[in-house]
Structure 1
Amino acid sequence: MQRHYGLDWLRIGAFAILILYHVGMVFVPWDFHAKLPGAWWVAVPMMASNPWRLSLLFVVSGYASRALLTRNKVPWRFARQRSLRLLVPLIFGIVVIVPVQPWVELSEKYGYAAGFGHFWMHDYFRFAVVGPLFLPAWNHLWFVAYLWVYTLALALGAAVLPGVATRALQAGFAWMMRGPALLMVPIAWLVLVNFALFPGGRETHALADDWVAHFSYFPAFLFGFALACAPHTLAALVARWKASAAIAVAAYLLVAGIEIRWPGSTMPHPWGIVFSLARAVEGWTAVAALIGYADGHWNRDHRWRPMLTEAVFPFYLIHQSLIVLIAFWLRPLALPGWANFALLVVATVAGCWGFYLGGRAIGPLRPLIGLRRHASRRTHVDPRPALM
């Protein structure tokens, strides 16, 4: 399998949007670890990516997993490689990177008076509830934990299923995922999850009880895995990207209109149902449009791609802690909203680059921030698929 540069660019773009999205979380009425004065309307542009950004990342990760599993030849070797690549930075993140987030949240919202050093030494590793928070926590790193669990499930399936069964499943996917079913089946599944299987359910990111997330993201991960060996499905996505994009934009406009008319959760019946249905439609058609466009227009290399691809994981590890800490420092200054936003974006991006470049240059730190232990020519010309 050759590297798909278009999906690399999608992954880079999705994480760039994620940084802006989490900056936006500081200003919207939704719950977040740190807050600055904002306005309800900030949620409207955030909803342009909210329904699809995580599903897209799981699809891309599933696609890359197919190449990695093929290259490692045996499932246990694939599972070992992915466990080392994901668990080491996850544990490092929980121990070192994440703690500032609950400290800021407890200090701002619940009157926690001790400094960060005391909090980290005495309260963070209690394995108990401190205020309303169970500590230690993985916060935004839940994505890494879920990706690891899905990877193990994939390796287990590859180990126990006979070859004839896997070939039949792949053939069934290729047969089903073409034509209108390519959009209708995933949308129907999302509607089933949200309205029939778990009505009123919300994602918890706690792994054990997060069935809404698992029933949404694990199928997306498997879709990407199957897509890697389904050229006709990929061609169908390319052929229909304009139609998919048009549907996604129309669905978003409906979502935005309802949010503007009834901000927050104040929408009356039946508009709440319409809102959820439109989000499901936007959620999948945007993914389909982006993959189709990326394959048709972005599947080419560039001298910046290897570094940006490598930088994505370190950026992801550190970005939310930077946002929360910087917002905490900005709050006493009482700056205008536009100044807070600009400073947050600039300082967060600068901090992410510093974290990546500094960690990349120090050999023992590389595995801790999600990089391969030794730098190689692949930093400049990397033929392997990108995967967290």
Structure 2
Amino acid sequence: MEPAPDPQRHYGLDWLRIGAFAALIFYHVGMVFVPWNFHVKSTHIAAWLTLPMLATNAWRLTLLFVVSGYASRALLARYPAPGRFAANRSARLLVPLAFGMILIVPPQPWVELVTRHGYDHGLASFWLRDYWRFSSLDGVALPTWNHLWFVGYLWVYTLILAVGVSLMRSTWLQRVFDRVFSGWWLLILPTAWFALVHGSWFTMVGETHALVGDGIAHASYLPAFLFGFALAGSPAVLAATVRLWKPAAALALLGYAAVLAFELSFAAKAWAASWGYRPYGVAHAVQQWGTIVALIGVAERYWNHDAAIRPMLTEAVFPFYIVHQTIIVVVMYWLLGAGLPGWAEFAILVAATVAGCWAFYLGGRAVPRLRPLIGLRQRQRPAVPALL
């Protein structure tokens, strides 16, 4: 697909990306308190918290891949040669991914092994003797990328996009996209696709985030990424999100209500009634795509304006993402013996995570050699005036 001219920066999607990552911090703090699997758990587990968590569970990651695809269109316009585009994105994604896997992520599996498997070595000893074993230790795969799987998947999808752009120079695919998704098919076709993914092909299958063998993730996130790329070149489809955001929001609420109904009806029976799996998957899909279209429509209609703080927040998102989960896991580990009530643990986790993320970002951005490691561009040096 031939890239369109450089699309005008969409401030609404910048705000949407900032909001989605902010919600991710609260989501991962919430993972400490719900029965779902996570690296460390509070002693204050509350099953009812899964219900508000499910309000974002269906769509939060899919939305991030849509927004990432949208941003890739502008980056491809800046580096129109697919090879240069792929090289630039590889440097921007793989360097912080490697840095994160080497130094940021290791405390997470260490805390998991200590708290859940009785591991009795310190963090430094763990990093030196066990983290690089390239096998499992008590069921924990080492080394690992944990939450940084998103960066690895985004890099793979970016390479797929670069190859596709190099092979297809015609704009006919963009024209088909504009024509198909500029009306009600914008809601119908993706919802049907996700209904097949969740309700038929991968019914009640969880994502592995292992890249290979993670069919349900790729069936959801790669199309979402490519949709975002095409959306960046389609004013007609963006306009359709504005026209349809209210029906999309209604579908999202309907899907979420159905998900809650299934959860409340079958939670005590441990989903023994297998006939419920397919309609649950369909409800998940309706909530998933309805929310994404509604949020993009709202962003296009109401949030597409700049503010003085936006550039900093936009830049801070990636460093926040790199470090936030490690802060959550380590701080919760420190809090385990404090005997605090659950609400106090939650408040401390949120405050510590936000403060730690800001310190990581502001400290890293100030040191030129650290900037690439935390996902930031190098500052442009001022031009040296010619000597006459």
Q: Which runs of 5+ in 2 are unaligned?
A: 1-6, 383-388
Is the Cα contact below 8 Å between 1:40 and 1:263 reproduced in 2?
Answer: no
Q: 2:301 matched to 1:304?
A: no
Contact 1:240 1:289 in 2 (8 A): yes
SS at 2:369 equivalent: helix
Q: Which range moves more in the overlay, 240-249 or 101-110?
A: 240-249
Count of paired positions: 374
- In the TM superposition, what is the alpha-carbon distance from 1:264 to its structure 2 partner? 7.4
Distance 2:214 2:268 in 1: 23
**Correspondence for 2:99:** 92
Helix, strand or coil at the partner of 2:8: coil
Aligned letter for 1:312? Answer: V
Counterpart CA distance in 1 for 2:91 and 2:203 is: 37
2:48 is aligned to 41
* Contact map agreement 2:199 2:277 (CA 8 A) in 1: no
Q: What is the distance in 2 between the residues matched to 1:327 and 1:345? A: 11
Determine helix, strand or coil for the equivalent of 1:364: coil
Deviation string 1:5-52 (CA, Å, 9 cap, x unpaired) is: 000000000000000000000000000000002210111111111100
**Aligned pairs for 1:170-209 within 5 A:** 170-209=174-213
Query: Is the CA contact (8 Å cut-off) linking 2:29 and 2:328 kept in structure 1?
Result: yes
Is it true that 1:105 corresponds to 2:112 in the alignment?
Answer: yes
Counterpart-to-counterpart distance in 2, 1:254 and 1:335:
35
Verify the 8 A CA contact 1:7 1:291 in the aligned structure 2. yes
Q: 1:113 aligns to what SS in structure 2?
A: coil
Whole-Å separation in 2 of the counterparts to 1:199 and 1:9: 33
In the alignment, the residues of structure 2 paired with residue 197 and residue 256 of structure 1 have an alpha-carbon distance, to the nearest angstrom, of 22
* Matched residue SS, 2:57: coil
TM-score (norm 2): 0.94
Alpha-carbon offset, residue 262 of structure 1: 3.1
Match of 2:245 among 241, 244, 258: 241
Counterparts of 1:363 and 1:230, CA distance in 2:
37
Is 1:129 equivalent to 2:114 in the alignment?
Answer: no
Cα deviation code 1:146-192 (max 9, x no counterpart)? 0000000000111122x23xx11111111111322111100110111
**Maintained 8 Å contact 1:51/1:279:** yes
Which of 173, 176, 199 does residue 169 from structure 1 map onto?
A: 173
Which residue matches 1:382?
none
- Is contact 2:324–2:357 with CA below 8 Å preserved after alignment? yes
Deviation at 1:265, TM superposition (A): 7.3
Q: Give the letter for the 1:300 counterpart.
A: H
Paired AA for residue 261 in structure 1 = S
Q: Tell me the equivalent position of 2:61.
A: 54
Offset from partner CA, 1:225-271 (integer Å, 9 cap, x none):
11111111110101111111121112212212332333377233433
- Counterpart code for 2:88: Q
Residues in 1 aligned to 2:147 and 2:201: alpha-carbon distance in whole angstroms: 26
Deviations 1:36-92 (A, max 9, x none): 022101111111111001111100110111111122111000000000000000000
**Contact kept in structure 1, 2:199 and 2:280, CA below 8 Å:** no
Amino acid of the structure 1 residue aligned with 2:247: A
Instruction: State the distance in 2 between where 1:120 and 1:373 align.
Output: 30
Please report how far the alpha carbon of residue 195 of structure 1 lies from its aligned counterpart in structure 2 after TM superposition.
3.3
CA distance in structure 2 between the partners assigned to 1:138 and 1:240 by the alignment? 38
Structure 1 residues 200 and 142, CA, compared in 2 at 3 Å: closer, same or farther? same
Partner of 1:383: none
C-alpha distance in structure 2 between counterparts of 1:338 and 1:236, whole Å: 42
Once residues 314 and 90 of structure 2 are traced to their aligned partners in structure 1, the CA distance between those partners, rounded to angstroms, is 20
Where does residue 334 of structure 1 map in the other structure?
Answer: 339
- Aligned partner of 2:11 in structure 1 is 5
Matches of 2:354 and 2:381 in 1, distance apart? Answer: 25
| Structure 1 contact 41–260 (Cα < 8 Å) conserved | no
Instruction: Give the distance between the partners of 2:247 and 2:198, measured in 1 at CA.
Output: 25
Distance in 1 between the 2:295 and 2:127 partners?
A: 41
For 1:112, give the aligned amino acid: Y
Specify the alignment match of 2:4 in structure 1.
none
2:203 and 2:278 in contact (8 A); partners too: no
**1:255 aligned residue (245, 248, 259):** 259
Q: Secondary structure at the match of 1:134?
A: strand
Q: Secondary structure of 2:9's partner? A: coil
Distance apart, 1:194 and its partner CA: 2.4
Q: How does 1:146-165 map to 2 (within 5 A)?
A: 146-161=153-168, 163-164=169-170
1:352 matched to 2:354: no
Name the structure 2 match of 1:280: 285
User: What value does the CA root-mean-square deviation take over the aligned residues?
Assistant: 1.4
User: Taking structure 1 as the reference length, what is the TM-score of the superposition?
Assistant: 0.94
